[in-house]
Chains A and B, each alone.
Chain A
Amino acid sequence: MADTAIAHGHDSGHGAHVTSTGLSNNKLAMWMFLGSECLLFGGLISTYMLYKGRVNSGPQPDQIFDIPFTSVSSFVLLMSSLTMVLAVSAAQRKDDRNTNLWLTITALLGATFVGGQVYEFTAFYREGLGFTTSLFGSSFYTLTGFHGVHVSVGIIMLMALVGMISRNRIPGNKAESVELVGLYWHFVDIVWIVIFTLVYLIPS
């Protein structure tokens, strides 16, 4: 019994902690977290879909959305998923230089997306859509704002990862740490895939 406990508790020497499932607990926790995030964004998207037609004052969605601009932002975020997966691939090959390069490019693409969102919010505000102007405005800013915060947190995680890899300060499995941040980043991307279609491309 004690032997079993010891067998389950020791470190394999590769940085991977041996578990009863044979799966990484960190990865399992990340997938559980992402599953719960589906519920968060599901609630926010549902709220937007129900309220997007409630415009008593201020502009209508199709009056202010700039589809060409948002399409470019969407493309930038989509390409950041490619650079992220290339970073994970480089980390699995133990190629720190390319891992850091792809992580930095991913963070820059993410920052471009957030910058675009800030510009979009500013433009909408100038056109008369404040947070409390209408139910459409409130639900739109809440949904896209939450997504923007997630992207910003992702950028911080990416830059922290770059710093830690450069200083060789990642305890345990380095490739897994990159993969976990990658999972979060791809999740942020798939949420935007849904938001881009449901919020921007489908008119009210």
Chain B
Amino acid sequence: MSTATDHSATADHSTEHAEEHHGASDKQYIVIALILAALTAIEVSTYYVDFGPLFMPTLFVLMTVKFIVVVSYFMHLKFDNKLFSYLFYTGLILALAVYIGALSTFKFFLQKG
């Protein structure tokens, strides 16, 4: 009985604790949004300015940084339970595997045909 009560109390506390994770403050969210806006401006600048061989790497790095910042701070994944991260990143990695698999299939088989 006491074990069940203790467990319940622990789970209850844990749930409350998870709910108390507010992540960043409102001011910090605004700063993060400004950083994201600046990164978007750099992305758009690649359309007007010739980045030469750095064009593709710049775009991919900016896209990845923006993605991770939104997921980590706005979606609170950085402050939340790791299980949520595992669930999300499993789907993401599988999606990347689908793309690499599909691209490889087209490269290897269609060009021979």
Inside 8 A of B75's CB, which chain A residues have their CB? 182-183, 186-187
Inside 8 A of B17's CB, which chain A residues have their CB? 22
For chain A residues 42-100, which have a beta carbon within 8 Å of chain B?
A: 42-43, 45-47, 49-50, 67-68, 71, 74-75, 78-79, 81-82, 84-86, 89, 92
- Stretch of A8-16, A119-127, A163-171 contacting B (4+ beta carbons < 8 Å): A8-16
Tell me what chain B mostly uses at the interface: helix, strand, loop, or mixed.
helix
Contact B91 A36 (CB under 8 A): yes
Contact B83 A35 (CB under 8 A): no
- Stretch of A109-117, A140-148, A151-159, A192-200 contacting B (4+ beta carbons < 8 Å): A192-200
Tell me what chain A mostly uses at the interface: helix, strand, loop, or mixed.
helix
**CB-contact partner of A197 in B43, B71, B84, under 8 A:** B43
Judged by a CB distance under 8 angstroms, whether B111 is at the interface is no
Contact B59 A86 (CB under 8 A): no
User: A85-B74, A183-B75 in contact; A35/B4 too (CB < 8 A)?
Assistant: no
Inside 8 A of A24's CB, which chain B residues have their CB? 15, 18-19
Give the residue among A34, A68, A79 with the most B Cβ atoms within 10 A. A34
What is the CA–CA distance of A138 and B23 in the complex, to the nearest angstrom?
Answer: 41
What is the CA–CA distance of A157 and B90 in the complex, to the nearest angstrom?
Answer: 26
Contact B94 A39 (CB under 8 A): yes
What is the CA–CA distance of A27 and B41 in the complex, to the nearest angstrom?
Answer: 33
Judged by a CB distance under 8 angstroms, whether A118 is at the interface is no
Contact A89 B22 (CB under 8 A): yes
Judged by a CB distance under 8 angstroms, whether A160 is at the interface is no
Contact A16 B16 (CB under 8 A): yes
User: A22-B10, A89-B26 in contact; A78/B40 too (CB < 8 A)?
Assistant: yes
**Nearest chain-B residue to A187 (Cβ)?**
B75
Judged by a CB distance under 8 angstroms, whether B47 is at the interface is yes
What is the CA–CA distance of A141 and B76 in the complex, to the nearest angstrom?
Answer: 32
Closest 9 CB pairs of A and B: A42-B95, A35-B91, A22-B14, A7-B8, A38-B91, A82-B33, A46-B99, A3-B4, A197-B63
Q: What residues of chain A have their CB less than 8 Å away from a CB belonging to chain B? A: 3-4, 6-8, 10, 12, 14, 16, 18-24, 27-28, 31-32, 34-39, 41-43, 45-47, 49-50, 67-68, 71, 74-75, 78-79, 81-82, 84-86, 89, 92, 173, 175-176, 179, 182-183, 186-187, 189-190, 193-194, 196-198, 201-202
